[in-house]
Amino acid sequence: MRILELQIRNFGKFRDQIITFHEGINIIYGENEMGKSTIHAFIRGMLFGIDKMRGRAARNDEYTIRQPWDNPGYFAGAMRFESGGKIFRIERNFNKLEKKALLICESDGEELDIIHGDLQMLMEGLNETAFRNTIFIRQNSSKTDEGLAAELRNYMANFESAGDDEINVVKAIETLKDKQRECAVKKKQQDEVRSERLEQVQIKLDYVEQEIRGLQKQQEDGTIKLQELRSMEAREGLAEQEKRARMEARNREEIKMLKIRQICLFTAAGIAVLMGILLKPLWLKMALGIAAVLLFAYCWYTNRYSRNREQESRQSGSGASKASQKMVWNLERIQEELHEKRVLLENLKENQADILAEKADSNRIQNDIEALEIAISTIQDISREIYKESARKLNHTASDILKEVTGGNYTSIYLDANMQVRINTPQKLLYLEQVSRGTMDQIYFALRMAAAQLFLSGEKMPLIFDDAFVMYDEQRLKRTLKWLYKSDSQVLLFTCHKREGAILEEIRREECFVQK
């Protein structure tokens, strides 16, 4: 990728400015407060946009700093660049109320889609974090931030497996862990619901089984009692029959005498009534009438007594079997209750079996959790191996760059497992804090350039510096510019010093002399 032209329509202090760039190293000279950092920020804004922050952070955010001075509502620009042999133009309106971005291929007139990643594809998948920590170096910001460590871990794991960042290992592992957590939560919820349902069913089962045992005990006791009653009936049967025969004979005799007596009394009552009708004295009629009533009443009583005696005679033999009959009825009732309870018990057992069968689904979820754990572990193991190989390449490239820009004073650096920089010297292993500020800047430079080469396996991206070498002495600066000159990358070097231009001319003369 090569930046051809900036069209700053309204951005910061600039309005309707066009700046063009060529291949190789472009030195953009300007004194302080002339807008070098603004142009530097414009390039970044064209590639990634500028968002307005919220709250207190909005007071000094990039959006507020770069908002046009004269007309804040008109906040826009465009940038033309070459990639893959074609020329593209990106246009942006940065205004938070009218934000818009267009990506157009000028070579064939096609409009591309920034939202769906067409621009990032042209940038070899480089995201803003990697861009800010590799090829885009601001003033007094040679040091990388923590974001580079995360990007390096992810890119180095992906680099060997996909050749680019199409597969995001960190994101893939996080996605698997999210799925694993979802499965664990689902399994826990299902287990809790199933456990509660099983507990409720078990309580009902225990209660019904207890009722069945009680009814069975009643049935056993009743059966024994019935057998005893029937044995007693068998033993007392003959005596009871003889007693009943005697009682029936006596009752029949008494009933016979009562019937004769009733006939006589009815006859006497009839005679009394007839005499009362025939005889004239009133008192005699009254006396005979009362006598007739008494006789009729006595006859009614004796008749009722006779019927009761007959009934007693008929029922005298059934008293002994009442207890056994009652027990039979009770046993029949118990048998019906037992049948109902056993049906209920079977239904509860089926319900329990259904709930236990649901555990198979929980087991499947557990299998999914274990499979996800295996997948995560496998990816991590593979990623670690890939990481080691990619880290070796990164360390080797960074060491080569550092050796060249330090004139051989430092020849080996590496990033440990925590992405901390260590410097190998013939005498000892140094931490970054143990070297001078100038050397520290050179180490970060080497690390940035090596990371950029790791991230960008295809087309090169422009290297953009904003007064990044102010702490370099003449020799450091010359060696660094010489490395950039040989890198065959487009370089945009913003500076407030004229020495970069002079040193670059010297390098060009030397290189031309060597080539001749």
Does residue 314 carry a pLDDT above 50? yes
Q: What is the pLDDT of residues 408-430, one digit of tens each?
A: 999 998 877 666 788 988 888 88
Q: Average pLDDT in the 292-307 region?
A: 62
What is d(CA 222, CA 330) in angstroms, rounded to the nearest whole number? 8
Question: Do residues 207 and 288 share a domain?
Answer: yes
Q: What is the pLDDT of residues 67-123, one digit of tens each?
A: 897 888 899 999 999 998 999 999 999 998 889 999 999 999 999 999 888 998 898
Q: What is the pLDDT at residue 440?
A: 85
What is d(CA 388, CA 287) in angstroms, rounded to the nearest whole number? 142
Q: What is the pLDDT of residues 28-70, one digit of tens each?
A: 998 888 888 899 999 999 999 998 888 777 777 888 889 897 8
Question: Do residues 83 and 231 share a domain?
Answer: no
Q: Looking at the 3D structure of the chain, how many domains does it have? A: 2
Residue 510, domain extent: 1-126+457-515
What is d(CA 264, CA 414) in angstroms, rounded to the nearest whole number? 144
Q: What is the token pair recorded at 458?
A: 């295809």
Question: DSSP states of 419-465 as a string?
Answer: --EEEE-SS-EEEGGGS-HHHHHHHHHHHHHHHHHHH-SSS---EEE
CA distances (Å), 73 to each of 6, 76, 99, 269, in order?
20, 9, 11, 136
With respect to residue 451, please indicate whether it lies within any of the assigned structural domains.
no
Q: Average pLDDT in the 161-185 region?
A: 71
What is d(CA 44, CA 131) in angstroms, rounded to the nearest whole number? 9
Question: Do residues 233 and 309 share a domain?
Answer: yes
12-26 core/surface letters (b: 16 or more CB in 10 A; e: else): bebeebebebeeebb
Q: With bands split at pLDDT 50, 70 and 90, how would you rate the model's confidence at 188?
A: confident
Q: What is the token pair recorded at 503?
A: 């040193």
Question: Do residues 182 and 112 share a domain?
Answer: no
Q: pTM of the entire structure?
A: 0.58
Contact in structure between 154 and 489 (CB atoms under 8 Å): no
Most confident range, picked from 361-365, 385-389, 468-472: 468-472
With respect to residue 138, please indicate whether it lies within any of the assigned structural domains.
no
Question: Kind of pairing, strands 429-431 and 421-424?
Answer: antiparallel
Q: What is the token pair recorded at 515?
A: 């080539």
Q: What is the pLDDT at residue 156?
A: 52
What is d(CA 189, CA 362) in angstroms, rounded to the nearest whole number? 10
Does residue 281 carry a pLDDT above 50? yes
Q: What is the pLDDT at residue 93?
A: 94
With respect to residue 478, please indicate whether it lies within any of the assigned structural domains.
yes
Sign of CA pseudo-dihedral 459, 418, 144, 486: negative
Q: What is the pLDDT at residue 368?
A: 86
Contact in structure between 38 and 12 (CB atoms under 8 Å): yes
Does residue 294 carry a pLDDT above 80? no
Q: Average pLDDT in the 284-306 region?
A: 62
Contact in structure between 201 and 355 (CB atoms under 8 Å): yes
User: How much of the chain exceeds pLDDT 70, in percent?
Assistant: 74
Q: What is the pLDDT at residue 463?
A: 94
| CB within 8 Å of 107: residues ≥ 6 apart | 86, 87, 88
What is d(CA 400, CA 102) in angstroms, rounded to the nearest whole number? 40
Q: What is the pLDDT at residue 298?
A: 62
What is d(CA 264, CA 60) in angstroms, rounded to the nearest whole number? 137
Question: Do residues 191 and 338 share a domain?
Answer: yes
Last residue of a domain, one of 361, 386, 402: 361
Q: What is the token pair recorded at 465?
A: 């510096």
Does residue 511 carry a pLDDT above 80? no
Position with higher pLDDT, 141 vs 431: 431
Does residue 284 carry a pLDDT above 80? no
Question: DSSP states of 361-403 as a string?
Answer: HHHHHHHHHHHHHHHHHHHHHHHHHHHHHHHHHHHHHHHHHHH
Does residue 235 carry a pLDDT above 90? no
Question: Do residues 1 and 108 share a domain?
Answer: yes
Contact in structure between 465 and 446 (CB atoms under 8 Å): no
Can you give the CATH number for the domain in which 76 is found?
A: 3.40.50.300
Does residue 390 carry a pLDDT above 90? no
With respect to residue 154, please indicate whether it lies within any of the assigned structural domains.
no
Strand, helix or coil for residue 90: strand
- Token look-up 């990481």 returns 387
With respect to residue 160, please indicate whether it lies within any of the assigned structural domains.
no
With respect to residue 79, please indicate whether it lies within any of the assigned structural domains.
yes
What is the average pLDDT score of the chain? 80
What are the φ and ψ backbone dihedral angles of 93, each rounded to 5 degrees? -110, 110
Last residue of a domain, one of 361, 385, 404: 361
As a whole number of Å, the end-to-end CA separation of the chain is: 30
With respect to residue 14, please indicate whether it lies within any of the assigned structural domains.
yes
Q: What is the pLDDT at residue 455?
A: 77
| Integer-rounded Cα radius of gyration of the chain | 56
Position with higher pLDDT, 226 vs 313: 226
Question: Do residues 308 and 249 share a domain?
Answer: yes
Q: What is the pLDDT at residue 320?
A: 46
**Considering only 193-202, 234-243, 351-360, which range has the smallest mean pLDDT?**
234-243
Most confident range, picked from 5-19, 122-136, 152-166: 5-19
Q: What is the pLDDT of residues 201-230, one digit of tens each?
A: 999 999 999 999 998 898 898 888 888 877
Q: With bands split at pLDDT 50, 70 and 90, how would you rate the model's confidence at 189?
A: confident
Q: With bands split at pLDDT 50, 70 and 90, how would you rate the model's confidence at 142?
A: low
Q: Identify the H or E element spanning 136.
A: strand 136-137
What is d(CA 476, CA 488) in angstroms, rounded to the nearest whole number? 20
Does residue 330 carry a pLDDT above 70? yes
